[in-house]
Amino acid sequence: MNDRRHLLTVIATLLFAIGLAVVSFLPDVSGYKFPQMIALSIVAIAAIMVLLALIPKKPLTKVDEESIPWGSIWPLLLILVGFLVIMERLGFFVTSFIAFFLIVMIYSPQRLGWRGAIKSGVIAAIFMAVLYLVFVSLLSVQTPQGLLI
Amino acid sequence: MELLEYLPQVVSGWNLVILIVGTVVGLLLGATPGLSPTMAVALLIPFTFQMDATSGLILLGVLYTSTVAGGAVSAILVNIPGAPANIATMLDGHPMAKKGRANEALHYCFISSGIGGVIGVLVLIFFTPMLVGFALSFGPSELFWIAILGITVIGSLGSASVLKGLLAGAVGIWISLIGFNPVAGTERFVFSEHLQGGVTIIPALIGLFAIPQVFQMIEDAKRGLSGETFGMEQRSVLTSLVYNLSKVRALSIGSIVGTVVGLIPGAGGQIAGLIAYDQNKKFSSDPDAFGKGEPEGVIASESANNAMVGASLVPMLSLGIPGSPTAAVLLGGLLIQGLFPGPGLFTQHAEVAWTFMGALLVSQILMVVFGLYISRFSKYVIRVPKYYMAAAVTVLAVFGTYSVQNSVSDVIIMMVLGTAMYFAMRFGFSPGPVVLGIILGPIAETNLLQGQMIAQAMDGTFQYFFTGSINMLLIGLCVLSIGYSAIAELKARARRRQSTGRTVEIDP
Amino acid sequence: MNTKNLLQKTKILAGTLASTAVLISSTSILAADDFPTQPLNMTVSYSAGGATDFQARIATSKAEQYLGQPVVIVNRPGAGGQVGWNYLVQKGGKEGYDLAAYNVPHFIAQSLIYDTYYDIDNLEPVANWGADPAVLIVGQNSQFETVDDLVDYAKENPGKVTVSGAGLFVGHHIAMLQLEAAADIDLQYIPTPGGVDALRFVQGGQVMAGFNNLSDAYRSQDRIKILGVADQQRSDKFLPDVPTFQEVGYEVDDSSVNFRGVMAPAGVPEERLKMLSDAMVEMFNDGEIQTKMEEGGSPMRVMGREELKEMWANRQSYLKELFSNLDQEELEKAK
């Protein structure tokens, strides 16, 4: 099972490497020599890995792939995507507050009732406030601004 | 001696306040995952306007020192390096923490930083005139070989498979080539507008290290492991001090490598820690212990990246040529005050120059003191539940990335790289080589291209790159490095073959 | 997990905070007559600590006194300046609060050669503070003592004289191209990512000569030899002993001078531009600012909006001609 996963991984890597090589060789202008060299090296290394994986019964490369716990991570993925999309519309601090709050609410192991939610909200707000005071007010750091802060 | 003459001024009144405040602020900023040292120094330049030249410089110098050291705290405790210089620290620092030796790791980190830092500043104070010529003798061909040397180190980092490490490093190099190149004069691989500025080091560092950690943290939280991952043990500073001082080889390698790398302009001081770590591992009697919690790894890496601080100021103060990106910011700070580097700085503005260097020396000691003190509070940090930590790191990652270049594109790149890295890590790749590739790629390519152009006008490419004493020395080091990695890998395979049949991985 | 409940709670809490945030961030930008009522944002398209950056910081340090509001510098480096300038025309507000520091000929050259969002038509000049001519430098131990020495050597060794400069199609490159044309010689240009690297190669002897900024050369003058300055007249304040190229017989004019100043995106009302321009001209003429710039070795030439419009137009046509003459041959060689 693990060997199969390993084989799939190295084959996928080889395909990715070939993709990079194609992209590097497509443009017809000069200035692409270096990326081409690098892309070819990547293909070479990936090819070696595939060969080694195909030789049966000899575990010459470490087999160290793990499975992806999709069930746990999809909310975080959504939050990250959402962050990028919303940040420029609502402004950095509001978006961060929402993201912070959501991450805490979704990933805390116990069910948080009203009290838990308010506590999380307050902590999130304090965190944002400290960031704002120290960096925006005091140090004049710029943050993405949207409709709100 | 002028240094002693100005020393009382360093520790008096306003300057002392700046020293202390600067050290503490720098340590805290550096220890916060997502905030980078270069950004911290750049942020405080406007403040130095209000102060006089000496105080302003002291503040910037102190920040430079302490943020680099502070970055190791985040590397050890949360597995997120505060700066590229701390990547090597993380390789052994975090495993130490997981084994319950976090305090010990922190002690070694600060003590070694202090020792390395002092050595770097002493070099700055006493040997600047002699080293100027050395610093200037590194041209495109020499720098190219240094980049290659860095690349050969990539394969032997960490305990992951060498092939995967090399592949990750090569992918990192390829990624670094995206964007506009001033020497080649073209834009490459700019598939989306956001890529026009290319993939720069800090967003990549934050993305590749912080984001996978966030995923890891929420996974742990979901599994109910959100409490303390490891305990903070009781450890006397004195014991750590004695042990640390006994590790002469690690300290020497660290300090020497750090000083040399810092001296060379254009080598990107960030790789000092990595090269020191690697060299130390090669000379050690038990290379396999590295990556699993070997204190020497932390000692070599931290002494190197603080020695680099003082050394990078040698070309900066004498020639106006910064030896690292943060030194470049410091240079700007100098110029705004109307001072410029050169012999004139030491004669006409002797007070400023010597007070500054004296302050750097004192700041090393302060950094050790406050660093050790602040480490005591880290036990509260690791008690923070994982889901809060994940939320905080996410916000800080976005914030820290944006504040480098005020670019939303950087944030997008950071998230994309980070998420991709998380998946890649599941398949056995690690982020260290990728970041190294991103740092070294531009250095390798720019110097290769420039070298070729110069070689055309001189005696030809081969002559240019393969002759000259420094070139030969560097090429020799590269060959040794590759040879060593090859031998190590063969030995490891032989050992694996000796054990019974297949290696079985247990699904977590 | 009770999703509906969670959603409700999130909405309520977010709503409360959102409304608070609206209250905090609602400041009217469009107050017509009292311009400016808020700090001005100035994008510097290079990293903190660089020449443009520190000059911009010095030049605008007294903005509160002359403009009524401070100028906040925001660094947006990347792609040789393109990232920051693209940002200005794409995201810059048209009320006059978003400005940028420009480098002539950089941005004009880039708009002609590369695919940028900006060009001389969607940008408005406000005021100019600095004029940094290109100078020809060689190492301290170099065999060249005068421009003629270098030219003679180059004539005997075409393509063998390496000359560094801070990138392609910047002032340094243009100066080199002009010298090549004026003296009928063939030099090998070595572009570097920044001015510091170009200078370092000359000092270290890795290249035989270089074109660099007068300001940087001035600060390093005890470690290099400065052979000539590409300008209409000598720099009396900084390098009184260095001849101009024209004085020694080579037709190299001041087209390569690196002008630095402030610009705004097109669309900002003319009265505001005029107000900013007049105020900034006064500010740049302030005694303290001039002294600080001089101490940093940065030559100044203060110009107002009308004069600038002319200068920009001149540069634009000059560069257009230059690039069309070079066309394929030089561009390919440069790459």
- The pLDDT value recorded for residue C5 is 61
Computed over every residue of chain B, the mean pLDDT equals: 84
- The pLDDT value recorded for residue B466 is 86
Residue A59 pLDDT > 60: no
Confidence of residue B379 (pLDDT cuts 50, 70, 90): confident
Residue of C nearest to A32 (CA): C335
Decide: helix, strand or coil at residue C200.
Answer: helix
Query: CB–CB of C25 and A102 under 8 A?
Result: no
Q: Domain containing C91 — which CATH number?
A: 3.40.190.150
Whole-number Å distance between alpha carbons of B74 and B32: 6
Confidence of residue C317 (pLDDT cuts 50, 70, 90): very high
- Smallest Cα–Cα separation from C101: which of C74, C133, C131, C64? C74
Which of C42, C83, C106 best tests the B interface by mutation, with the highest count of B CBs <10 A? Answer: C83
Residue B490 pLDDT > 80: no
How many domains does chain C contain in total?
Answer: 2
Whole-number Å distance between alpha carbons of C247 and C251: 9
C109 & C125 share domain: yes
C230 & C116 share domain: no
The one-letter amino acid code at A3 reads D
Q: Quick one: average pLDDT of C37-60?
A: 87
- The pLDDT value recorded for residue B344 is 74
**Beta C187-191 vs C40-44: how paired, if at all?**
unpaired
C124 & C88 share domain: yes
Question: Which residues of chain C are within 8 Å of residue B319 when distances are taken between CB atoms?
Answer: 200, 203, 220, 223
Residue B422 pLDDT > 90: yes
User: CB of B114 within 8 A of CB of B368?
Assistant: yes
C247 & C138 share domain: yes
> What stretches of chain C show up as alpha helix (H) in DSSP?
3-25, 51-59, 63-67, 82-91, 106-113, 147-156, 171-183, 195-204, 214-219, 270-284, 287-295, 305-334
* Tens digit of each residue's pLDDT (9 = 90 or more) over B157-215: 765 677 888 889 999 999 999 988 878 778 888 888 888 888 988 899 999 999 999 99
Interior/surface letters B42-54, b for 16+ CB within 10 angstroms, e for the rest: bbbbbebeeeebb
Question: Which residues of chain B are within 8 Å of residue A9 when distances are taken between CB atoms?
Answer: 427-428
- The pLDDT value recorded for residue C328 is 58
Residue of B nearest to A92 (CA): B399
The one-letter amino acid code at B37 reads P
**Over pLDDT 90: what percentage of chain B?**
17
**Over pLDDT 90: what percentage of chain C?**
41
Task: Specify the pTM.
Answer: 0.86
Residue B136 pLDDT > 60: yes
Computed over every residue of chain C, the mean pLDDT equals: 85
Query: CB–CB of A114 and C9 under 8 A?
Result: yes
Query: CB–CB of C200 and B266 under 8 A?
Result: yes
- Smallest Cα–Cα separation from B10: which of B55, B48, B41, B53? B55
C117 & C146 share domain: no
Q: Quick one: average pLDDT of C285-309?
A: 89
Confidence of residue A97 (pLDDT cuts 50, 70, 90): very high
C231 & C306 share domain: no
- The pLDDT value recorded for residue A129 is 92
Largest CA distance in chain A: 63
* Tens digit of each residue's pLDDT (9 = 90 or more) over B202-254: 899 999 999 999 998 888 888 777 666 677 777 788 888 888 888 888 889 99
**Beta C71-75 vs C40-44: how paired, if at all?**
parallel
* Tens digit of each residue's pLDDT (9 = 90 or more) over C107-133: 998 888 888 889 899 999 999 999 999
- Looking at the domain assignment, is residue C14 inside a domain? no
- Looking at the domain assignment, is residue C30 inside a domain? no
Question: Which residues of chain C are within 8 Å of residue B331 when distances are taken between CB atoms?
Answer: 49
Confidence of residue C335 (pLDDT cuts 50, 70, 90): very low
Interior/surface letters B299-327, b for 16+ CB within 10 angstroms, e for the rest: bbbbbbbbbbbbbbbbbbbbbbbbbbbbb
**Beta C123-132 vs C258-265: how paired, if at all?**
antiparallel
What one-character DSSP code corresponds to residue C141? T
- The pLDDT value recorded for residue B1 is 63
- The pLDDT value recorded for residue C11 is 64
Domain boundary residue among C196, C223, C256?
C256
Domain hosting C112: range is 40-132+257-324
Decide: helix, strand or coil at residue A32.
Answer: coil
Query: CB–CB of C13 and A121 under 8 A?
Result: yes
- The pLDDT value recorded for residue C13 is 58
Indicate the residue of C58, C61, C191 with minimum beta-carbon distance to B183. C191
C217 & C275 share domain: no
> What stretches of B247-349 show up as alpha helix (H) in DSSP?
248-263, 272-283, 295-319, 325-336, 343-347
Question: Which residues of chain A are within 8 Å of residue B392 when distances are taken between CB atoms?
Answer: 100, 127
Whole-number Å distance between alpha carbons of B110 and B431: 25
Interface residue ranges in chain A relative to chain C, Cβ cutoff 8 Å: 29-31, 90-91, 93-94, 97-98, 101-102, 105-106, 111, 114, 117-118, 121, 125, 140, 142, 145, 147-149
- The pLDDT value recorded for residue C334 is 46
- The pLDDT value recorded for residue C26 is 46
**Over pLDDT 70: what percentage of chain B?**
95
User: CB of C16 within 8 A of CB of C7?
Assistant: no
Task: Tell me the backbone φ, ψ of residue C227, rounded to 5 degrees.
Answer: -95, -35
Question: Which residues of chain C are within 8 Å of residue A91 when distances are taken between CB atoms?
Answer: 21, 25
- Looking at the domain assignment, is residue C35 inside a domain? no
Residue C29 pLDDT > 60: no
Residue C161 pLDDT > 80: yes
Q: Is C177 exposed, middle or buried (0-12, 13-18, 19+ CB in 10 A)?
A: buried
Neighbours of chain A (3+ CB pairs under 8 A): B, C
- Smallest Cα–Cα separation from B190: which of C83, C323, C333? C83
Confidence of residue A10 (pLDDT cuts 50, 70, 90): confident
Residues forming a β-bridge with C74 = C43
- The pLDDT value recorded for residue B119 is 93
Interface residue ranges in chain C relative to chain A, Cβ cutoff 8 Å: 1-2, 6, 9-10, 13-14, 17-18, 21-22, 24-25, 41, 72, 74, 332, 335
Whole-number Å distance between alpha carbons of C115 and C95: 26
Residues forming a β-bridge with C274 = none
Whole-number Å distance between alpha carbons of C74 and A4: 51
The region, left, alpha or beta by phi > 0 then psi within -120 to 50, assigned to residue B374 is: alpha
Q: Quick one: average pLDDT of C22-41?
A: 63
Residue C225 pLDDT > 80: yes
Q: Domain containing C222 — which CATH number?
A: 3.40.190.10
C236 & C152 share domain: yes
Residue A63 pLDDT > 70: no
Domain ranges (residues) in chain A: 2-54, 70-138
Confidence of residue B118 (pLDDT cuts 50, 70, 90): very high
Asked if A74 is an interface residue toward chain B (Cβ–Cβ < 8 A), one would say: no
Sign of the C-alpha dihedral computed for residues B307, B313, B318 and B319 taken in this order:
positive
Q: Quick one: average pLDDT of B361-376?
A: 88
Confidence of residue A62 (pLDDT cuts 50, 70, 90): low
Residue carrying structure tokens 């060009």: C119
Question: Which residues of chain B are within 8 Å of residue A65 when distances are taken between CB atoms?
Answer: 426-428, 505
Q: Quick one: average pLDDT of C154-160?
A: 89
* Tens digit of each residue's pLDDT (9 = 90 or more) over C178-213: 999 889 999 999 998 888 888 889 998 889 999 999
C145 & C54 share domain: no
* Tens digit of each residue's pLDDT (9 = 90 or more) over B316-338: 888 888 877 778 878 887 887 77
* Tens digit of each residue's pLDDT (9 = 90 or more) over B9-45: 777 778 888 889 889 988 988 888 888 887 777 777 7
Query: CB–CB of B198 and C54 under 8 A?
Result: no
- The pLDDT value recorded for residue B210 is 93
- Looking at the domain assignment, is residue C186 inside a domain? yes
- The pLDDT value recorded for residue B181 is 82
Domain ranges (residues) in chain B: 2-491
Order of all β-strands in the sheet with C209-213: C187-191, C161-165, C209-213, C134-139, C224-229
- Looking at the domain assignment, is residue C5 inside a domain? no
- Looking at the domain assignment, is residue C160 inside a domain? yes
ipTM for this model: 0.90
DSSP notation for C90-107: HH--TTS-EEEEEEETHH
Q: Quick one: average pLDDT of A111-128?
A: 86
pLDDT top residue among C256 and C6: C256
Residue carrying structure tokens 């040997």: B127
- The pLDDT value recorded for residue B294 is 86
C88 & C223 share domain: no
